Amino acid sequence: MSIIMTGGGTGGHLTIIKAVKEHLTDETLVYVGSTGGQDKQWFKDDEDFKEKYFFKTRGVVNQGVVGKIKSLFMMAKAIFSAMKIIKNHQAMVVFSVGGFSAAPMAFAAKLTGIPLVIHEQNAALGSLNKLLKPYATHFISSYLEESPIKAYPIKEVFFNNAHLRKEVKTIIFLGGSQGARAINHLAFEMAPQLKEKGIKIIHQAGANNIEEVQKAYKTMGIEAEVFGFTTKLAEYMNEADFAIARSGASTLWELSATAVPTLYIPYPYAAKDHQFYNAQFLVEKNLAWLMREDEIAVPKVLSLLNEDLGKVSQGLINVVEKEGSKKIAILLKTI
């Protein structure tokens, strides 16, 4: 018997699988993803999975008529392959985190009568998850009251690093591993004043922008710790007293678990504007700040550093539930 984990395309989906599988050390795990996203980069060599399968699939949304037909043909072919994988590995449950990578296995689970457990990362439901929600054995979301598990599945290290932030000695700019031009430019505008205040800068510039960002700081005569993709994100977040970040679900909940007061600047082209709604969930609880890219104003951003950060930091400690990944793992084992 095995547990099949599926979905991805982007790191936001894949971090969920990575966190949950840490608590499934005694189970036989199989991963099913796509060649079209970051799936292979994350799990191709992961020895926690007995087998890994990567289908040649792609998203159907935002395709032309011909593109949609090709995508659906690829999907149908992958669904038949997924049904064989379910049979060959005697799957007892399929755990899907959404994204186009999840579609073949999620549909195959329903066609074969295998329990399907879905985790939705964002406040605005993804297209596939919204379609399959009525057919899921369990549908998990930190934003829905009816969810059987409200805690977001992130690594325990982020909770372990949580501590009160009352004064800004270090600020972190997080544009994601691909970077965010708006956040980079905001950092450059703020840098001279941050230097005057003696505030250290940590900056995730994006893998393709590291040299450009490093050069900009050097030209200004400002020291900054600049990186792209990193395995030390928990350490960087732990060092920070304030963050300016995109509001992808994993970033948002990792910062919250670490109790870092944050200004969120959502990616304006995210599907269904889900990054805005992710951040709005915390803003409504007075636990974060939110600005659209066209609303950014340096004086306004700098004024946030004088807010009652201790109150926000303590609020985050109180509101974020622990052990989300462990609770999901237990559900998968006992379904």
CATH of the domain at 217: 3.40.50.2000
Residues 178, 288 within the same domain:
yes
pLDDT digit string (tens) for 130-140?
Answer: 999 999 999 99
Tokens of 208: 């393709």
Residues 125, 27 within the same domain:
yes
Report the alpha-carbon distance of residue 171 to residue 327 in Å, rounded. 32
Residues 170, 68 within the same domain:
no
pLDDT score for 256: 97
Residues 301, 327 within the same domain:
no
Residues 65, 143 within the same domain:
yes
Residues 109, 59 within the same domain:
yes
Handedness of CA 46, 48, 51, 56 (dihedral sign): negative
Low-confidence stretches of the chain (pLDDT beneath 50): none
Nearest CA to 161 among 75, 76, 289, 258?
258
> Which residues, 6 or more positions from 172, have their beta carbon under 8 angstroms from its beta carbon?
202, 203, 204, 236, 237, 239, 240, 242, 243, 244, 245, 260
Q: How does 233-261 read in b/e, with b if 16+ C-beta sit within 10 Å?
A: bbebbbbbbbbbbbbbbbbbbbbbbbbbb
Please give the span between the terminal C-alpha atoms of the chain, in angstroms, as a whole number: 13
Residues 181, 254 within the same domain:
yes
Residues 129, 211 within the same domain:
no
Residue 103, domain extent: 2-152+323-334
pLDDT score for 134: 94
Residues 112, 134 within the same domain:
yes
As a whole number of Å, the CA-based R_g of the chain is: 21
Residues 95, 193 within the same domain:
no
pLDDT score for 316: 96
Handedness of CA 98, 102, 104, 107 (dihedral sign): negative
Tokens of 263: 């200004």
Give the total number of structural domains in the chain. 2
Paired with 171 in beta bridges are 201, 242
Question: Which pTM does this prediction carry?
Answer: 0.83
pLDDT score for 179: 66
Residues 327, 315 within the same domain:
no
Residues 309, 197 within the same domain:
yes
